[in-house]
Structure 1
Amino acid sequence: MSDLDAFITGLPKAELHLHIEGSLEPEQMFEFARRNGVEIPFGSVEEVRAAYEFSNLQDFLDIYYAGASVLQTEEDFRDMAMAYFDRAAADGVVHAEIFFDPQTHTHRGIPFGVAANGLLAGMAEAEAKHGLTSKLILCFLRHLDEEDAFRTLEQAHPWIEQITGVGLDSSEIGHPPSKFERVFAAAAAMGLKRVAHAGEEGPPEYVHEALDLLHIDRLDHGNRSLEDPALVTKLARSGMTLTVCPLSNVKLCNVASIEVHPIDEMLRKGLRATVNSDDPAYFGGYVGENYRAIARGRGLGRDEVVTLARNSFLGSFLPDEAVTAHLERLDAYVEAN
């Protein structure tokens, strides 16, 4: 391990773009399938990994939803969350804001509370075990309709004090943010933060819609914003955080290779970019590997890596006092290393 690799591993950081269902490793998929008596369309762990060659977002989603079918009980969701948190803690993550997709589960007959209670139990266990704090963000599946999203928001009411925000994920093309303007307004009225995937595969216009119609507090991905100079200026001037996922971008063929990833261009243009793992079981690495890959691929030094980690705390939904404490811890680590 190089000096920079070791520095990255120990660097305190937050992860702001993590789909918890996308952390389900093939081994755990088979374990849950066995204990729940669920049939899955794969004969072995190796066969699952061989299927992880995607030409676009939809290729990935097809397998992602098949894998999620093994999640049946609160124990499954808790165990999946803890497996993620164990890996995150080993990568220097001290705070995580995780997405979950309740419609993926309610549409197959799993009550909202099974997922919510299981994940919240895992989050509490991670704080007790690792001192790793976390927040939960409910994502709406954009390929489903507005009515379904409103129904999901209604189902969330008993847990609303334990949910930090709402997000928008799944198939981007053909499902612009404007489709969910009213449900995001309803979430805002409930005091929830708002984030949305935009500009991953979709055009810069989707980013404009997320900003102007959904009034997002954070932008997930946002790579294609770079095609619109005025949009870049708008994002930079507002201090909008972008939750960038380098290995995911390459795996889904949105970026040709890690060597041409625009993360350093984002920083140069004044964007508050962060590094995250997205769906790490499917895309080849957790957050530490994303940092190391982008540092190698783009020749980033310590200063850029520290900026990315600093941005992760500044872009979090933690209160100012907690962010200040994390930044002081970050500065102490940098000074000592």
Structure 2
Amino acid sequence: MTDLNAFITGLPKAELHLHIEGSLEPELMFALAERNGIAIPYASVEEVRAAYAFSNLQDFLDIYYAGAAVLQTRADFHDLAAAYFARAAADGVTHAEIMFDPQTHTARGIAFGDVIEGLMSAQAEAHQRYGMTTQLILCFLRHLSEDEAFDTLAQAEPWLDRITAVGLDSSEVGHPPAKFARVFVAARAKGLKLTLHAGEEGPPAYVYEALDVIEADRIDHGNRSLEDAVLVERLRDAQMTLTVCPLSNLKLCVVDDLAEHPIDRMLAAGLKATINSDDPAYFGGYVGENYRAVAAARGLSRDDLATLARNSFTGAFLPPDEIARHLETLDAYLAAHPS
């Protein structure tokens, strides 16, 4: 397993499902709270980590939003993203598509521009330091209204040339994709790609809505699609990318044990699955840990891991020539590390 772990670390890969606010480590939370004079309800890093013993999506979201309160300035968002990019580069990530939740911040009086300008400066730094390509995905919070999503899209207008896609996250149950149908049409008209969380806690019907109502370019999570054989066939035939997050699935009790995780069943069914870290500070691991944990739990082969990495590039929202360049890097690595 040591050799396989080293292979995973060096394996060139893309991360397509990463919430940048969910990469806020307790140490940085404390540092930003002190820098900004923000009171937080924890006396130590250990207390924060203990609070991460949630058992469902809503309990996680409660602490997630509380932690976001320390993010106040453009420099804070830069530091947050820069810390993530450093960890991603160490995990072999050569392309990262990071999601951000502007409504979490604008509702607190933080300017949209401060959020995105901080993230963009970290993107430029990551490209310079690591040669990493990066993209931004603006996510709407699904527990809020569609009108509020429209307002957020309007606020994003000056930066749309730097935003690749829009997504839909937060509490899934009770907030189906169709609730946001009109704002996704508007986003598509502005040239943005569409991706949304569906089939994590929500039923397969939400995945159908993502396909038929939203006409999504990508599905985030999608685990519960396996409950519907017709849906599996449709996703396979369309080669729809699924951004699967194993440690997130475990932490949020989507699976009770990684030994039960369906990632290999997805691959065997011909689904275009990828591995991602979702909210790594909260879920116990960045993308490398996700690869290693599920590989050990499900006995994934090097070929399986190579397929997952290849899927991550072909599923990226990149131009074909950039995808081809990343695939060349992957193929060179595989040739240099034969089974």
Determine if the TM-score, normalized by the shorter chain, exceeds 0.5. Answer: yes
Residue 216 of structure 1 corresponds to 216
Secondary structure (helix, strand or coil) at the match of 2:55 reads coil
Q: CA deviation at 1:32?
A: 0.2
Give me the whole-angstrom Cα distance separating, in 2, the residues matched to 1:243 and 1:54.
22
Partner amino acid for 2:115?
A
Runs of 4+ that moved beyond 2 A: none
Give me the whole-angstrom Cα distance separating, in 2, the residues matched to 1:317 and 1:206.
22
Residue 317 of structure 1 corresponds to 317
Residue 182 of structure 2 corresponds to 182
Give me the whole-angstrom Cα distance separating, in 2, the residues matched to 1:63 and 1:123.
26
2:254 matched to 1:254? yes
Residue 36 of structure 2 corresponds to 36
Partner amino acid for 1:221?
H
Residue 92 of structure 2 corresponds to 92
Residue 127 of structure 1 corresponds to 127
Q: CA deviation at 1:88?
A: 0.2
Residue 244 of structure 1 corresponds to 244
2:82 matched to 1:82? yes
For 1:244-289, what per-residue CA distance to the aligned partner results, in whole angstroms no more than 9, with x for missing partners? 0000000001111111100000000010000000000000000000
Q: CA deviation at 1:55?
A: 1.1
Residue 327 of structure 1 corresponds to 327
TM-score (norm 2): 0.99
Residue 196 of structure 1 corresponds to 196
Secondary structure (helix, strand or coil) at the match of 1:219 reads strand
Give me the whole-angstrom Cα distance separating, in 2, the residues matched to 1:46 and 1:173.
31
Partner amino acid for 1:66?
A
Q: CA deviation at 1:232?
A: 0.4
The answer for unaligned runs of 5 or more in structure 2 is none
Q: CA deviation at 1:174?
A: 0.3
For 1:194-227, what per-residue CA distance to the aligned partner results, in whole angstroms no more than 9, with x for missing partners? 0000000000000000111111100000000000
Give me the whole-angstrom Cα distance separating, in 2, the residues matched to 1:55 and 1:283.
11
Q: CA deviation at 1:325?
A: 1.2
Give me the whole-angstrom Cα distance separating, in 1, the residues matched to 2:38 and 2:213.
41
Residue 23 of structure 1 corresponds to 23
Give me the whole-angstrom Cα distance separating, in 2, the residues matched to 1:151 and 1:137.
16
Residue 114 of structure 1 corresponds to 114
* Count of residue pairs the alignment pairs up: 337
Q: CA deviation at 1:329?
A: 1.0
Q: CA deviation at 1:112?
A: 0.5
Give me the whole-angstrom Cα distance separating, in 2, the residues matched to 1:330 and 1:268.
22
Give me the whole-angstrom Cα distance separating, in 1, the residues matched to 2:319 and 2:79.
28
Partner amino acid for 1:188?
R
Residue 291 of structure 1 corresponds to 291
For 1:281-331, what per-residue CA distance to the aligned partner results, in whole angstroms no more than 9, with x for missing partners? 000000000000010000001000000000000000111111111111111
For 1:172-192, what per-residue CA distance to the aligned partner results, in whole angstroms no more than 9, with x for missing partners? 000000000000000000000
Give me the whole-angstrom Cα distance separating, in 2, the residues matched to 1:156 and 1:183.
13
Partner amino acid for 2:283?
F
For 1:67-105, what per-residue CA distance to the aligned partner results, in whole angstroms no more than 9, with x for missing partners? 000000000000000000000000000000000000000
Q: CA deviation at 1:54?
A: 1.4
Give me the whole-angstrom Cα distance separating, in 2, the residues matched to 1:302 and 1:54.
33
Q: CA deviation at 1:335?
A: 0.9
Residue 232 of structure 1 corresponds to 232
Give me the whole-angstrom Cα distance separating, in 2, the residues matched to 1:41 and 1:211.
41
TM-score (norm 1): 0.99
Partner amino acid for 1:202?
G
Give me the whole-angstrom Cα distance separating, in 2, the residues matched to 1:79 and 1:167.
23
Secondary structure (helix, strand or coil) at the match of 1:173 reads coil
Partner amino acid for 2:264?
D
Residue 138 of structure 1 corresponds to 138
Residue 51 of structure 2 corresponds to 51
Residue 8 of structure 1 corresponds to 8
The answer for unaligned runs of 5 or more in structure 1 is none
Partner amino acid for 2:188?
A
Give me the whole-angstrom Cα distance separating, in 1, the residues matched to 2:231 and 2:325.
32
Residue 336 of structure 1 corresponds to 336
Give me the whole-angstrom Cα distance separating, in 1, the residues matched to 2:79 and 2:129.
14
Residue 151 of structure 2 corresponds to 151
Give me the whole-angstrom Cα distance separating, in 1, the residues matched to 2:33 and 2:325.
42
Residue 280 of structure 1 corresponds to 280
Give me the whole-angstrom Cα distance separating, in 1, the residues matched to 2:298 and 2:37.
45
Residue 306 of structure 1 corresponds to 306
Give me the whole-angstrom Cα distance separating, in 2, the residues matched to 1:82 and 1:304.
30
Secondary structure (helix, strand or coil) at the match of 2:96 reads strand
